[in-house]
Amino acid sequence: MYLYTKDHAWVLVEGTKARVGISDFAQKELGDIAYVELPAVGKKMLRGDVACTVDSLKSSSEIYAPVSGTVIEVNKSLSEEGGCGLINKDPLGEGWIFGLEMSDPSECTLLLSEKDYQSYIQGN
């Protein structure tokens, strides 16, 4: 089950691990993704900290940590030539950005369900 932040990141929770990316809505707003500054593996962050930056041909956008934890993996495919396009092609799958070992899984209760996120982006 995907959970979302109001700044358009998604979280896929598996036990105490969380995989993070940007929503389909966000990638459409950004347009063609040109570069992703991935966080360093081992980086500790608190919910709301800047985790990484995504640059498109239109603009640059900071991605904030949706939950607190330590970065345990990054999507190295995004660093390969043309790899950033995975975010545009498959934002909720192969276009994931990084994974965290959550330090406080209860923070997931602060995230939006898919239904609530859809209502949020539609302004309802």
Query: Dihedral angle at the C-alpha atoms of 1, 44, 8, 82, nearest 10 degrees?
Result: -100
The pTM of this model reads: 0.94
Read off the pLDDT of residues 33-88 as tens digits, 9 standing for 90 and up: 999 999 999 999 999 999 999 999 889 999 999 999 999 999 999 988 888 999 99
* Secondary structure class of 80 (helix, strand, coil): coil
In the chain, the domains with their CATH numbers are 2-121 (2.40.50.100)
- Residue 101 reports pLDDT greater than 90: yes
CA distance 67 to 34: 26
Strand partners, 44: 70
- Please give the backbone phi and psi of residue 65, each rounded to the nearest 5 degrees, phi first: -65, 120
- Residue 124 reports pLDDT greater than 80: no
